[in-house]
């Protein structure tokens, strides 16, 4: 049994997630930009396509870390699952630090 096989599976999954996620986010931004060319923008304070695309981009790396964490957890690789969880926790804390230091 080769050690690299399960790791390749993880690489493949992450590749798919990041590629589809980026295309979806870019698609949303593009729709929003095209709509704005025709003067059709989201009302102030309401989320539009561009905002949705940006939010997806900001969330995508966290979804990637969560995917890694779950993958390690299911393979009983608790050490790395814990590390992934810690990274996720730091991202969440950093996000809320933005409110505090505003």
Partner 1 sequence: MLVTSISTLFLISVVTSALGGALGMASGIFIVPVLTILMGMDIHVAIGASIVSVIACSCGSAASFLRERLTNVRLAIVLEIATTLGAASGVLVSGWIPVPILYAIFTVVLLVSAWQMLQRRIVNVLDERAQEGWARKLDAVYPDRALGRDLAYKVDRLPAGLGLMYGAGLLSALLGIGSGVLKIPAMDTALRLPMKVSSATSNFMIGVTAAASAGAYFMRGAIVPSIAGPVALGSVVGALLGARLLVFVAADKLRIIFIVVLLGLAVQMGLAALGIHVGVGA
Footprint on this chain of partner 1 (rule: CB under 8 A): 4, 7-8, 10-12, 14-16, 18-19, 21-22, 25-26, 29-30, 32-33, 36-37, 39, 41, 48, 50-51, 53-55, 57-62, 64-65, 68, 79-80, 83-84, 86-87, 90-99, 101-102
Closest approach, Cβ 76 to partner 1, in A, equals 14
**∠ CA 82-83-88, rounded to 5°:** 95
Smallest Cα–Cα separation from 80: which of 91, 88, 69?
69
> Tokens at residue 78, please?
């608790």
């Amino acid at each position: 049994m080769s050690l690299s096989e399960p790791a390749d599976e993880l690489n493949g999954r992450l590749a798919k997630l990041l590629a589809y996620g980026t295309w979806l986010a870019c698609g949303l931004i593009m729709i929003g930009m095209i709509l704005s060319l025709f003067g059709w923008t989201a009302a102030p304070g309401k989320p539009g396509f561009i905002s949705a695309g940006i939010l997806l981009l900001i969330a995508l790396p966290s979804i990637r870390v969560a995917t890694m964490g779950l993958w390690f957890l299911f393979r009983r690789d608790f050490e790395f699952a814990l590390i992934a969880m810690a990274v996720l926790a730091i991202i969440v804390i950093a996000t809320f630090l933005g409110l505090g230091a505003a």
